[in-house]
Structure 1
Amino acid sequence: MNPVTGLSLGRIAIGVASLANPSMAAQQMMLDPRSNPQVPYVTRLFGTREIALGAATLLATGKARRTLVLLGILVDAADAATGYLAVKDGSAPVKAGQGMTAVASGAVVAGFLGLRTGKTLTD
């Protein structure tokens, strides 16, 4: 499976989990929905975005798919920066911010690998 297809399917799976059980998904991200009742709301927003981006990328072909991969890379880079800033400003526990930064950075790498292999336009 090429990296773009895997990343897209992963986005959809994470998105579905975030919508179906936002508190559990937040806990998996090492966030505490009990101390912050807005966390499930934000987790659902995140889930919806992930499903939309993953599904759109899977359904797109040609230049549109490449553009969606680039958009995904930008979104994931912003997520990585957000994780870093959350640690820096204390808005998330260190382990949570580091974990979110690592996962988002991995997604950036997967997106670039998909572009590099050239399979983003055919698979």
Structure 2
Amino acid sequence: MNPITGLNLARIVLGAVALVSPALAAKIFRLDPGANPQLGYMSRMFGAREVALGAVTLAASGTTQRNLVLVGMAVDATDAFSGTAAGIDGSVTKATSGFLTLPAVGAVVAGAAALVMARR
């Protein structure tokens, strides 16, 4: 499978889970919706972003698709920053911070690798 396709299908699936079942998304991300009832709203916003970005990236081609992968990498880098910041400010435990940050960093790396492989 094309790495850009795989990365964006994963983005869409994760986003769909966050949209349809914020409680499940919270569990996946090791967050506590009971402690923050507004988490469902934020989860759905995250989910909508992920589905939209993944879908538009898959629908695009050429330079437009490349630029959308770069946008995705920027979004994922911001997610990594957010996961780290949450651990620093005590919003989440250090372990949860790592659990939130590492996949986001992995998505940035996967996006970069996908762009390199697409040039071959």
TM-score (structure 1 length as normaliser)? 0.93
Partner of 1:78: 78
> Which residue is 1:109 aligned to?
109
Moved over 2 A (4+): none
Amino acid at match of 1:54: G
1:39-65 per-residue CA deviation (whole Å, 9 max, x = no partner) reads 111011000000000000000011110
Please provide the CA RMSD for this pair.
1.3
Give the gaps of 5 or more residues in structure 1.
Answer: none
Q: Distance in 2 between matches of 1:83 and 1:16?
A: 20
After TM superposition, list the pairs within 5 Å mapping 1:1-123 onto structure 2.
Answer: 1-118=1-118
Q: Which runs of 5+ in 2 are unaligned?
A: none
CA shift at 1:97, angstroms? Answer: 1.3
**Structure 2 residue identity aligned to 1:104:** A
**1:119 Cα deviation from its structure 2 partner:** 5.4
Bigger mean CA deviation after superposition, 110-119 or 80-89: 110-119
Conserved in 2, the CA contact under 8 Å of 1:30 and 1:95?
A: no
